Structure 1
């Protein structure tokens, strides 16, 4: 009988769903007979609530970032795993009736790429609802909301995250260091010159500026700081879904220059990384792993308080990226790019060492091992209906 995997994501930014898509793709390469389905489950079950909470979160991190930072750190420091009250709150807000989706799909395995889903499924499992589950941590840090003792397999980005889970009581046998899933388009780097020709770009030093799907990370400040270099570098600015930012930059005459390209959300980030010499970005887990896979040095600017600060600290500690605290620092690095390119050799060296440890199919292999060799729960889906949640 054909095995079926259900991958649950959330529409909170684009990274979690992109990771889900990348993982589904690698599974199809590793074992084509396995059927996978991706669902942004909160959006499907309770779209109004999910959208409202996401917008509230966005307002908080942009207008009151230190409030969010305090909430994030206080939760993380007080406990080692998600408390029951928080699991219940997440379930009631986002995932009421998720068991109906499971009963309709009858998956052999459920993979979660967002901590909220992992929390809700763990709550159901704790109460006797049988589900085999894998959780993919899409950051370089394991906040307590990720930590659930009911998870059968954790896929993590690094040895540091593995140690954090072990310290929180997760058995080392249930953790696989696989990296963050990225699409096969990122598994190798194409010729910089060929890609630039394909994209009709000049063969000059190229800087890519991104702020995730929502166009955050101080893109506007960085873009304005780079204008003075527009005769000597090629500038590609990706504003994501932030249409107002895209329009405001396009209308500014200073940005109307043949060496400056401004785009919204695009599906050719792999090509843009191939064409780039430097990436300036906020440190979303997936974006950073894509850049590392392509071997592009990163300057990190304005990380979101909480998980992105931890991502930033991890990357800086390993000399895989450099954090800039003020947009004026960009000038120093552009000058180095143009006049002293050997300044980036330290980053290339450490990125290459990082790449040597990467196996892009490690995640799919770990999942296949769980799917085909794990002891599958024998309780039928019909028996789940009697469980009060």
Structure 2
């Protein structure tokens, strides 16, 4: 029996999109032994010299001019990537995309970023017949995700589904599945074993995440948390930002047995499991991972655009709060010290509430598409 081939395409504009692709890959293989998966950041694969330069420029824009990102997001909000743009992308980056599809012969293509979704949509207009599934990895529906050639949209919430429908996407093309996270985030291993593994203490704990790029940097918040290191444990995860890592490690203020500094950590699910509060940028993937753990989230300087939308969504559900000033941190430090049991009770209620998000639903929907395609082909 030939295995079904699933090609998952992403881009390196932030770590979350590719994490979603790998999470789907893992879930698909866990659900079915008859599925082969391949994850690719298409631009980096086809143009390894130019793509990193563009991603680096994007990263610098996010850190130095976040308002510009917000202006671009709002300007393009109701617009899809027009045919001229997709043609330009196709010629600059993806002239070999058709060859890749022909070589890999996928039974379905799944996109977790709008650019490869737009490019595959253009190929479908030019005759490629492979079914296209687009997974929107935020809690909003920006116009760049939308193309009539997409056969199925997998979205995070009913609100996102309604936004797509208002833009004339048929309801039959949209499934509410939640954003896919790695299956390990839905597991609850022994906290004691995790603490032993990372040499952590059993005490109220704050996890500060910089994301894969390590772009969160707020000395006021970090210094404030460090002041309470006799009463609370603080875990800093700085991602791939080696400069920030070395700076923090050399700062005497952070040399305390209850302060732990890490670079890039693969087992973020385990650190979330033993932490009580998460301080993070509100990227769609990180928010979804935090959701799966039921951990209260404090959002640090949301980038105007999709991060603001993500922050507002989780705040409206009572699952998060934006750090508008150091007073927000003071409130949560007080809770950790004096209302620790209540934080645990609230988290348990969160875990019971999020059971409706069905952690494997995205992968199940893709397998259903594979089965339907097998019947009709």
Shift of 1:192: 3.3
With normalisation by structure 1, the TM-score equals 0.91
Please list the CA deviations of residues 151-180 of structure 1 after superposition, one character each: whole Å capped at 9, or x if unmatched: 111111111111111111111111111111
Looking at structure 1, the residues matched to 214 and 304 of structure 2 have their Cα atoms a distance apart, in angstroms, of 16
Deviations 1:178-207 (A, max 9, x none): 111111111132343443234321111010
User: Which residue is 1:171 aligned to?
Assistant: 170
Corresponding residue for 2:181? Answer: 182
Residue matched to 1:208: 207
1:162 paired to 2:158: no
Q: Is the 8 A contact 2:293 2:351 kept in 1?
A: no
Q: Is the 8 A contact 1:206 1:275 kept in 2?
A: yes
2:292 paired residue number: 293
TM-score norm. by structure 2 comes to: 0.94
> Structure 1: any 5+ residue segments left out of the alignment?
379-389
Whether the 8 Å contact between 2:13 and 2:58 is mirrored in structure 1 is no
Partner of 2:117: 118
| 2:328 corresponding residue in structure 1 | 329
* Whole-Å separation in 2 of the counterparts to 1:103 and 1:182: 29
Q: Give the distance between the partners of 2:258 and 2:188, measured in 1 at CA.
A: 23
Once the two structures are TM-superposed, the CA of residue 274 in structure 1 deviates from its matched residue by: 0.9
1:267-286 maps to which residues of 2 (within 5 A)? Answer: 267-286=266-285
Asked whether the 8 Å contact 1:282–1:302 carries over to 2, the reply is yes
1:18 aligns with 2:15: no
Name the structure 2 match of 1:242.
Answer: 241
Q: CA deviation at 1:344?
A: 4.1
1:85 alignment partner in structure 2:
84
Residue in 2 that maps onto 1:317:
316
Deviations 1:84-135 (A, max 9, x none): 2232233334322211101111111111111110011111112333221111
Q: Distance in 2 between matches of 1:235 and 1:61?
A: 26
RMSD: 1.9
Larger CA deviation: 127-136 vs 159-168: 127-136
Q: CA deviation at 1:10?
A: 1.5
Query: Could you say which residue in structure 1 is the equivalent of 2:132?
Result: 133
Partner of residue 46, structure 1? 47
Aligned to 1:95, the other structure's residue is in SS state coil
Q: CA deviation at 1:342?
A: 6.2
Asked if the contact 1:5–1:109 (Cα under 8 Å) also holds between the matched residues in 2, the reply is yes
- Structure 2: runs of 5+ lacking an equivalent: none
> What is the Cα deviation at residue 365 of structure 1?
1.2
Asked if the contact 2:137/2:156 (under 8 Å) is kept, the reply is yes
- The alpha-carbon deviation at position 218 of structure 1 amounts to 2.9
1:8 aligns with 2:5: no
Contact 2:276 2:344 in 1 (8 A): no
Structure 1's consecutive aligned runs of 4 or more residues displaced over 6 angstroms after TM superposition are 375-378
What is the total number of aligned residue pairs between the two structures?
Answer: 376
